Structure 1
Amino acid sequence: MKQPGKVYLIGAGPGDPELLTLRALRMLKEADAVVYDRLVSPEVLALAPSRAEKIPVGKSPNHHPVPQQVINEILCDLALEGLTVARLKGGDPLVFGRGSEEALHLSSFGIPVEYAAGITAAQGVASATGVPLTHRGLASGVRFVTGHRQANGTLDLDWKGLACEDTTLVVYMGVSSIGLIAMRLVAEGLSNGTPVLAIANATTPGEKRVLSNLGRVVLDVRDAGLKSPVLFVIGKVVTLSAEWPSNAVNRLLTKAGGEAAGRLVHA
């Protein structure tokens, strides 16, 4: 019986190939086949060996041409052929990446799995914009949540716990639900003037940023034409952006309503 190959679950980072780890690059170079998501940038994919088979399995909102179970089977079939498989995932495979689901399936067939940690989108946004995720006196912690549920299910987050003005909230995959998110956070006590950074295609040449607040973010994101993937950073740390109006900081933290800040767009 042929010895099974192995699967590398690789975090491809938020897009900039310079943000790949050395471990991720080494694993990618060893691959006989590369199974990659939609959010893996062309620049990262270009680092794979030219001889390696490239298999796209990407999903987009409300469009999943390759269901997760089929992805599991593809990875399994390739490895059982004795191949070394690079499973490339945007960001980190263990942060909203279903890496553990795939690892469990592969392990049930005796297929070895190794991980390469990736820079998750929130970290990429922080380094690209200079907006920290924590900062003494502004945010003593950070929480990552997803703004999307499987099969468009109800977004049943811990709204009360998330509405903490001393914590930075990072929302992944939330462009279609940011209106609901903003409304629920305000209902639980956050000010309409709470600063928000929305950023599309972070760390890539197509990056686009919008600085706003909870009272205006839906309108500002719509007017700026931001499309998925969009990540939202919500909290006082956003005022540390070099693009934030310095004279608006105190007003944003004390006044409610859309007038607390105008929209700033940086592409």
Structure 2
Amino acid sequence: MTDSPALPDQNWPVLLPGWVWLCGAGPGDPGLLTLHALNALKQADVVIYDALVQEDILGWAPQADHIYAGKRGGKASAKQRDISLKLIDLAHAGKRVLRLKGGDPFVFGRGGEEAQTLVQHGIPIRIIPGISAGIGGLAYAGIPVTHRDVNQSVTFVTGHDQSGNTPSSLDWRAIAQGSQVIVIYMGMKHIARISQALIDAGRPGAEPVAVVTTATTEAQQVLETTLATVVEDIETAGLTPPAIICVGRSVLMRQALDWQAQAAGEAPRDTDPLGRGRPAESA
């Protein structure tokens, strides 16, 4: 890792001893880290980081102890209670603690739970948002999460609950009928059940679907498929988590906006995938 980039010359918040900053590291690409996150990395005594945090990012905190606290479905993982207790113990010991979480800490990242526990134990905190994979990961795949010709709403859901099952509290019929674009976090394990639930609720089997794995990294893969064939196509492609799944017509925009393919010299497959013709000039 090269030297950490310099921060602009201004007064930045100070990470004080006994404080815990809960910080989003973004979806993967170190360049998507915020300046507040970089500032925190430069000051921390201890960085407790998740599974999806890139090693390059940790390299910007050479002065700190790095403690792994990743949680990955189907793999041996740190227990949430143990992570929270570790944060409390370090703060009580007078350490400047950075809790570094993939994406945004308050978007399906248990950041709210950890923040609540810290506050209950009298630990002062600061929240540093990050770019969520459901937005940034899709953008790196050339898929706008909103597009005026496609959707005026988007629904973010998680593919599993605390027990590891498909969330029983979700009304899949309401989601299928009420949201034009659906973005599913951590949905690979239960994609067969989720896709069938959406189809049973009236979503067309031909509905476009994109599966983006290890988003924004060099290992990123993007599968374009449909709601009816997504399970078979994931298996055929050999895709594995972590993944973001997008359901809706905005997926079609990848045909025009796959900017990484265009950077490699490939022409857009269709400059007007929605078939709407040239848009009028914005007012």
Q: Shift of residue 136 of structure 1?
A: 1.1
Q: Given that residues 252 and 274 in structure 2 are in contact (C-alpha distance below 8 angstroms), is that contact kept between their aligned partners in structure 1?
A: no
> Deviations along 1:8-58, whole A, 9 cap, x unmatched?
10000000011011111111211000001101111222222x121110011
> Deviations along 1:94-142, whole A, 9 cap, x unmatched?
0001111111111122111001100000111232122111111211111
Provide the C-alpha distance between the structure 1 equivalents of 2:181 and 2:217, rounded to a whole number of angstroms: 23
User: Paired residue for 1:138?
Assistant: 150
Moved more, 216-225 or 120-129: 120-129
User: Paired residue for 1:254?
Assistant: none
User: Paired residue for 1:40?
Assistant: 53
User: Paired residue for 1:59?
Assistant: 71
Provide the C-alpha distance between the structure 2 equivalents of 1:166 and 1:65, rounded to a whole number of angstroms: 33
Provide the C-alpha distance between the structure 1 equivalents of 2:113 and 2:271, rounded to a whole number of angstroms: 47
Q: Shift of residue 165 of structure 1?
A: 7.3
What does residue range 1-267 of structure 1 map to in structure 2 within 5 Å?
5-48=18-61, 50-156=62-168, 157-164=170-177, 167-242=180-255, 246=270
Provide the C-alpha distance between the structure 1 equivalents of 2:85 and 2:40, rounded to a whole number of angstroms: 21
| Matched residue SS, 2:177 | coil
Q: What TM-score, normalized by structure 2, do the two folds share?
A: 0.83
Structure 1: state its 5+ residue gaps.
252-267
Provide the C-alpha distance between the structure 2 equivalents of 1:89 and 1:195, rounded to a whole number of angstroms: 30
Name the Cα RMSD after superposition: 2.1
Moved more, 208-217 or 155-164: 155-164
Q: Shift of residue 64 of structure 1?
A: 4.2
Q: Given that residues 12 and 88 in structure 1 are in contact (C-alpha distance below 8 angstroms), is that contact kept between their aligned partners in structure 2?
A: yes
| Matched residue SS, 2:157 | strand
Provide the C-alpha distance between the structure 2 equivalents of 1:165 and 1:111, rounded to a whole number of angstroms: 41
Q: Shift of residue 65 of structure 1?
A: 3.0
Change (3 A) 1:4 1:45: closer
Q: Given that residues 103 and 131 in structure 2 are in contact (C-alpha distance below 8 angstroms), is that contact kept between their aligned partners in structure 1?
A: yes
Structure 2: state its 5+ residue gaps.
1-15, 259-267, 276-283
Q: Given that residues 137 and 216 in structure 2 are in contact (C-alpha distance below 8 angstroms), is that contact kept between their aligned partners in structure 1?
A: yes
Provide the C-alpha distance between the structure 2 equivalents of 1:94 and 1:224, rounded to a whole number of angstroms: 31
Provide the C-alpha distance between the structure 2 equivalents of 1:21 and 1:64, rounded to a whole number of angstroms: 30
Q: Shift of residue 155 of structure 1?
A: 2.8
Structure 1 runs (4+) greater than 3 angstroms displaced: 243-251
Q: What TM-score, normalized by structure 1, do the two folds share?
A: 0.87
